[in-house]
Chains A and B, each alone.
Chain A
Amino acid sequence: MTAASSPASTPVTGSGEQSRAPGHGFSWAALLFLGPAGLLLAVFIVFPAIYTAFLSFNRGRGGEFSEWVGLDNWIRLFTQDPNFLRIGFPPSGALWNNVLWIIFFVSFTVLFGLIIAVMATRVKYEAWVKGIVFLPQAIAATSLAIIWRFVYSPDPNTGLLNAVLGIANVGPLSVLGNPATVNWALIAVGIWGSVGFATVILSAAIKGISSEVLEAARVDGATEPQIFWRIIVPMVSLPISVVAVTLLVGVIKLFDLIFVMTTGGPGASSRVIAFSMYQEAFPSGQFGYGAAIAVVMLLLLVPVMIFNIRRFRAEAVQQ
């Protein structure tokens, strides 16, 4: 925070005495209470992040600074590694797959969450519907991945998907074994796992819309789709953006689901950034290269970081 803002915005925490601005003089109590957290954050987050940023310009043999290579890792990452990014038609690679995830996973999760939340408010078994859809939130991505590997199993005597397709005389398909379908199959699982989160948050927001507004619209002859798109969606736009940002952050950090369902395969066709980081740094032992990928992840999250900080400074001023 800048010096200019601190004396003026005294009640950032709501706790400061009016007569004295917060933060006059050193406090042993603060050191005692913040010490353990500060130490852990410095040792395990701040220092490693700086080390990783420098390592991305190094060969990084054995995880140490072995040989400076300038921008080699970065140039390789964006121009010479089709597993990370291949610009062409259609584009492919881990970074591109994350783009697909961001576009399709985030928008469909929000849309389905909103639709389910709106529909559920009209029935008596609302809590049950929300509970059922929310349940995957409590489940490990590892278990979720096994549930869906089973559904997607190419054997129609095992996999539900191919059993259903078999009735229509289609298949059997190996959706996870085909580079053309694997990302869509994974995104579908991601949506299945996250719609409950969107539903619960958005449902709480929708409940906050006054029923008079909705009734007035109905009296004026608005149709249900009009009410949905012209009243409900604009009125919960802030919670929608918060849910979307949370999901977006989740996509950039996505790892467990991919690792258990496909290990990035077939080939490297379903890799995402976090998977590439793990794969290049650990099984392959290319630490400098892996460090560069970790830095890419951090850079992708910086806009969200700035957005959050702005939001909190704005709230602090309002308080």
Chain B
Amino acid sequence: MTAMQDTTAKPEPRTFSERLARIVGRGPTHLILGLIALVWLVPSIGLLVTSFRPSADMRSTGWWTVLFEPRFTTANYERVLASEGIGEAFLNSLFITIPSTILPLLIASMAAFALAWVRFPFRDTVFLVIVAMLMVPVQVGFIPTVTGFRESGTGLLTNYGAVWLTHTAWALPFGIFLLRNFFITLPKDLIEAARIDGASNVGIFRTIVLPLSVPAIAAYGIFQFLWVWNDLLMSLIYAQRNAIQPMTVKVTQLLGTYATEWSLLSAAAFLIMIVPLIVFISLQRFFVQGLLAGSVK
């Protein structure tokens, strides 16, 4: 191994001029990567800074002037949370997202278990139908389901029920796909041995498959949580009462009322971002694993 590396590794630069040439040669790489980092950071930093600036300052000067005259306040956050209804919407977002994450986790892992480890007729066909459903756009469901919910007299469109049910249903194809592909990689001997020992399917699912699949289930859970938390469209369609609408919907309404009140809009935008950022930064490992598993199987 070491011998192989020795023959292929680039010789270390020996003279001063070689070393200089190498540093200069890398110069453009550092410069371009630095520029890229700036382009990706500055827009978000601008909005973050604005959310902490007094709104009078926001109206008179650009956010970049804080470098010369730093003046900060939390008044914008206080105002959007208290009087613009974003505080209530924050709770609605949680109330929409938590059941819409737990339900598909449970239902998809059950279905994925059956597709991976229970024998029944047309199993492969069922799985291919699920693969096909991955591509079906949510839009094909909107009109019949909204009509159905409205006419059912159950009030589901105004009490979270419709949002929970539809988010759960549309999360299943991806969840079943991801988890089934993980479940079939579990050691067959282990499951067959449990079966010979008389374990039931429910027992195998609970005591072997679920505990061994925590990374995959966590990845799917994070995806689904972020997806629902960040979603606007589904709530626009299925949460038809002000008091149950999540932050994404509330912020678009704020945008209609205060199109240039950047102090308020920026604070609201960051309140939407805060939970995903915490989830993402603390659970990044699972997130990237899931991403790799989901798209490059």
Residues on A facing B (Cβ under 8 Å): 1, 6, 9, 12-17, 20, 22-27, 29-34, 36-38, 40-41, 43-45, 47-49, 51-53, 55, 60, 62-64, 116, 119-120, 122-123, 125, 128-129, 132-133, 135-143, 146-148, 150-151, 153, 155-158, 160, 163, 192, 197, 200-201, 204-205, 211-212, 215-216, 218, 239, 242-243, 246, 249, 252-253, 255-256, 259-260, 274, 277-278, 281-282, 287, 290-291, 293-295, 297-298, 301-302, 304-305, 308-309, 312-313, 315-316
Dominant secondary structure at the B interface: helix
Contact A40 B107 (CB under 8 A): yes
Contacts of B36 in A (CB 8 A): 116, 129, 132-133
Q: A63-B143, A122-B29, A242-B296 are in contact. Are A147 and B47 (CB under 8 A)?
A: yes
Minimum CB distance partner of B9 in chain A: A215
Q: How many A-B residue pairs have CB under 8 A?
A: 339
Contacts of A128 in B (CB 8 A): 37
Contact A246 B295 (CB under 8 A): yes
Pull 21 A–B residue pairs with CB atoms less than 8 Å apart, ordered by A: A14-B185, A15-B191, A29-B120, A30-B114, A34-B126, A36-B110, A44-B145, A45-B141, A52-B141, A52-B144, A64-B147, A138-B226, A138-B279, A138-B280, A157-B60, A197-B291, A204-B296, A242-B295, A298-B136, A302-B135, A308-B135
Contact of B137 with A by CB under 8 A:
yes
Nearest chain B CB to A18 CB, angstrom units: 11
Nearest chain B CB to A205 CB, angstrom units: 7
Minimum CB distance partner of A131 in chain B: B284
Contact of B92 with A by CB under 8 A:
no
> Once the chains are docked, how many angstroms separate the CA of A249 from the CA of B248?
23
Q: A41-B133, A163-B62, A293-B139 are in contact. Are A15 and B117 (CB under 8 A)?
A: yes
Minimum CB distance partner of A16 in chain B: B119
Contact of B159 with A by CB under 8 A:
no
Q: A140-B229, A294-B139 are in contact. Are A147 and B276 (CB under 8 A)?
A: no
> Once the chains are docked, how many angstroms separate the CA of A274 from the CA of B233?
10
Among B135, B143, B248, B268, the residue within 8 A (CB) of A304 is B135
Contact B169 A243 (CB under 8 A): no
Q: A15-B184, A132-B37, A150-B46 are in contact. Are A295 and B140 (CB under 8 A)?
A: yes
Contact of B252 with A by CB under 8 A:
yes
> Once the chains are docked, how many angstroms separate the CA of A277 from the CA of B115?
35
Number of interface residues of B (CB under 8 A): 116
Contact of B86 with A by CB under 8 A:
no
Contacts of B200 in A (CB 8 A): 29
Among B32, B61, B123, B205, the residue within 8 A (CB) of A23 is B123
Contact A158 B295 (CB under 8 A): no
Minimum CB distance partner of B270 in chain A: A143
Among A13, A157, A197, A313, the residue within 8 A (CB) of B61 is A157
Contacts of B279 in A (CB 8 A): 138
| Most-contacted residue by chain B among A33, A151, A160 (CB, 10 A) | A33
> Once the chains are docked, how many angstroms separate the CA of A228 from the CA of B44?
31
Minimum CB distance partner of B147 in chain A: A63
Contact B169 A44 (CB under 8 A): yes
Binary CB contact string for chain B from 254 to 285 against chain A (1 if under 8 A, 0 otherwise) = 01000010100110111011001101100000
Nearest chain A CB to B149 CB, angstrom units: 10
Contacts of B98 in A (CB 8 A): none
Nearest chain A CB to B201 CB, angstrom units: 4
Nearest chain B CB to A60 CB, angstrom units: 7
Contact A192 B46 (CB under 8 A): no
Contact A33 B296 (CB under 8 A): no
Contact A274 B29 (CB under 8 A): no
Contact A45 B136 (CB under 8 A): yes
Contacts of A31 in B (CB 8 A): 120
Contacts of A215 in B (CB 8 A): 8-10
Among A22, A137, A140, A243, the residue within 8 A (CB) of B123 is A22
Of B12-20, B68-76, B170-178, B213-221, the one contacting chain A is B170-178
- State the 10 A-B residue pairs at the shortest beta-carbon distance, nearest first: A63-B147, A44-B169, A140-B230, A33-B114, A30-B120, A37-B111, A138-B280, A27-B120, A51-B144, A48-B144
Nearest chain B CB to A59 CB, angstrom units: 12
Contacts of A290 in B (CB 8 A): 142-143
Contact A55 B143 (CB under 8 A): yes
Q: A23-B123, A158-B62 are in contact. Are A40 and B260 (CB under 8 A)?
A: no
> Once the chains are docked, how many angstroms separate the CA of A131 from the CA of B295?
19
Minimum CB distance partner of A196 in chain B: B40
Among A33, A43, A64, A204, the residue within 8 A (CB) of B205 is A33
Contacts of B165 in A (CB 8 A): 40, 44
Q: A37-B107, A301-B136 are in contact. Are A140 and B10 (CB under 8 A)?
A: no
> Once the chains are docked, how many angstroms separate the CA of A107 from the CA of B208?
44
Contact A36 B107 (CB under 8 A): yes
Contact A256 B145 (CB under 8 A): no
Nearest chain A CB to B189 CB, angstrom units: 11
Nearest chain B CB to A7 CB, angstrom units: 11
> Once the chains are docked, how many angstroms separate the CA of A47 from the CA of B166?
13
Contact A27 B119 (CB under 8 A): yes
Contact of B121 with A by CB under 8 A:
yes
Contacts of B280 in A (CB 8 A): 135, 137-138
> Once the chains are docked, how many angstroms separate the CA of A22 from the CA of B187?
18
